[in-house]
Amino acid sequence: MRIAIVGAGVAGAIMARGLAQLPGLDVTCLERVAPDDQAEAGTGLNIGPNAVGALSRVDAELANAITAAALPWDTWRVTLTDGTELMNIRMRDVAPSAGWRLRWSELYRVLRQGADGLIRYGADITDMGPTGDGSGRTFLRWTDATGAHALDDIDLLIGVDGRFSKVRQRFAGDAKARQVGVAIFRTLLADTSEGVINDYEQWFNRDNRLLGFRVPPDHIYISGTFPISVGGDITDAHKAREALREAYTPSDGTLSEQGQWLVEAVCNPTTNLHWARLQESEVRIFEPDSDVLYLGDSSHGMVPTLGQGATQAIEGSCTALMVIRDLVAAGNFDPREWLGAVSDARAARIRFVMNFSLEASDTLLAGSDPVAGTLKKTEPAFQSKLKQLYHDFDATWPLQGQERAAQ
């Protein structure tokens, strides 16, 4: 059975490694960038315990390799920028394990090393589509440093080429995006905080929020948000360093030691800020007429509030691998059935994660009260959803080995 994977990012590298270990599958994975080019990945990631749990169950060796490159995400603290504490969650109280904190480029390095020899780098896709014979099969054309290449009669095409997915655009048109009305900037800096910034924290001044944490080897990741009009642009006036200083400084000027370090770091003119708007896109798991599967950002762009983007790319890939492993073990090599089974396992879960991420963004919206909004997150209703988020990563996995035999 011929499988082609477009994109060797978070989901693509995990899928390439996992599928190549199964019998009867011929796996080709195409990646646009060169092997050591992680230019798009100059940032830090906090990855939820649900991804740690899912990957540990599906591929413990790969999970251990990420753990070795990461720091544990043990706590989630929320304060005002003047230092007033609003919430301090220990991850072990809401999750089966800690999460991970690491640089995005490190995650790519570890995952791509895990798929060593399976990825064709520097691939520029020139054409793709259905074979046109009604079989559901697809084809790919691409060029790389060695020339032009073709792959015909692909039984399963996995489009994991990120949030601007060419595969999804080719088979389903542009994904509709929904703007939330929040601007976000991100930066990765050398750690000069001398221990002031460590595990995952958020700091509010009115509806403006900073977020930061330390990542190996010696860096601090900072992200900041503030409201803008829904669908509006982020203007130069929004980006001006003095406007940012004003946004995160309390009206009486009293910043905590952490607040002071963060505001100075963000407002330093040499700090390179990367800008985006919070948005989510419609979910699409597979194509109805062609055997094409989407995972990660190509399937579901989500707001980053709960750190579930890469987390869901990992969790979703693990679910897909469990489903496919189970079907292969039962001798089922029908890609239509694989797609239906992955969709059954993922659809409700991803809807829950996206809705919950949006719900948790309430304190980022214009005019929101961070004190009332954060205190609500300490109440049983929110805490119970958080436990569901972090624990239920395998609730819909197919039955395994002995469990299946016992049925």
Ligand X SMILES: Cc1cc2nc3c(=O)[nH]c(=O)nc-3n(C[C@H](O)[C@H](O)[C@H](O)COP(=O)(O)OP(=O)(O)OC[C@H]3O[C@@H](n4cnc5c(N)ncnc54)[C@H](O)[C@@H]3O)c2cc1C
State which residue, 138 or 298, has the beta carbon closest to ligand X.
298
* Cα–Cα distance measured from residue 110 to residue 108, given in angstroms and rounded to the nearest whole number: 6
Which range of residues in 8-16, 71-79, 173-181, 379-387 is near ligand X by CB under 6 A? Answer: 8-16
CA angle 311, 14, 215 (to 5 degrees): 50
Contact present, 8 and 112 (Cβ < 8 Å): yes
DSSP readout, 143-175?
EETTEEEEEEEESEEEE---TT-HHHHHHH-PP
User: Which range binds ligand X by CB under 6 A, 128-136, 175-183, 296-304, 379-387?
Assistant: 296-304
What are the structure tokens assigned to 368, written together? 């929101």
Is 309 a binding residue for ligand X by CB under 6 A? The answer is: yes
Name the residue nearer to ligand X (CB basis): 24 or 147.
147
Q: Give Cβ neighbours of residue 2 (< 8 Å, ≥ 6 apart).
A: 26, 28, 151, 153, 154, 155, 156
Among positions 5, 27, 29, 47, the unique one binding ligand X when judged by CB under 6 A: 47
| Residue 107 Cβ vs ligand X, minimum distance, rounded to whole Å | 8
Of the pair 206, 346, the CB lying nearest ligand X is at 346
Candidates 5, 27, 46, 398; binder of ligand X (CB under 6 A) is 46
- Residue 286 is classified by DSSP as B
Window of 3-11, 55-63, 126-134, 383-391 that interacts with ligand X by CB under 6 A: 3-11
Residue 125 binding ligand X, by CB under 6 A: yes
Give Rg (Cα) of the chain: 22
Position 33 contacts ligand X (CB under 6 A): yes
Q: Which of 227, 296, 335, 398 binds ligand X (CB under 6 A)?
A: 296
Q: Tell whether residue 30 is a contact of ligand X (CB under 6 A).
A: yes
Q: Give the chain's largest Cα–Cα span.
A: 70
Among the listed residues 158, 310, 341, 350, the single contact to ligand X using CB under 6 A: 310
> Which own/partner pairs from 133-141 qualify as long-range (CB within 8 Å, at least 24 positions apart)?
136/289, 136/290, 136/291, 136/335, 136/336, 137/290, 137/291, 138/4, 138/290, 138/291, 138/292, 140/4, 140/6, 140/30
Q: Of all residues in this chain, which one has the CB nearest to ligand X in the complex? A: 9
Of 157-165, 226-234, 369-377, 382-390, the segment contacting ligand X by CB under 6 A is 157-165
* Candidate ranges 41-49, 228-236, 254-262, 340-348; the one touching ligand X (CB under 6 A): 41-49
To ligand X, the closest distance from the beta carbon of 384 in angstroms equals: 21
Binding piece for ligand X, criterion CB under 6 A, among 1-9, 127-135, 251-259, 395-403: 1-9
CB 284 within 8 A of CB 163: no
Q: What totals of helices (H) and strands (E) does the chain contain, helices first?
A: 14, 18
Helices (H), 268-334: 309-329
- Contact letters (x/-) for ligand X, 330-359, by CB under 6 A? ------------------------------
Residues in the chain: 407
Angstrom distance (rounded) from CA 198 to CA 196: 7
Q: Closer to ligand X by CB, 103 or 385: give it.
A: 103
Contact flag: residue 225 with ligand X (CB under 6 A) = no
Q: Which residue in 120, 108, 116 sits closest to 145, CA to CA? A: 120
Q: Name the site residues for ligand X (rule: CB under 6 A).
A: 6-12, 30-33, 43, 45-47, 104, 123, 125, 160-162, 166, 186, 296-298, 304, 307-311, 313
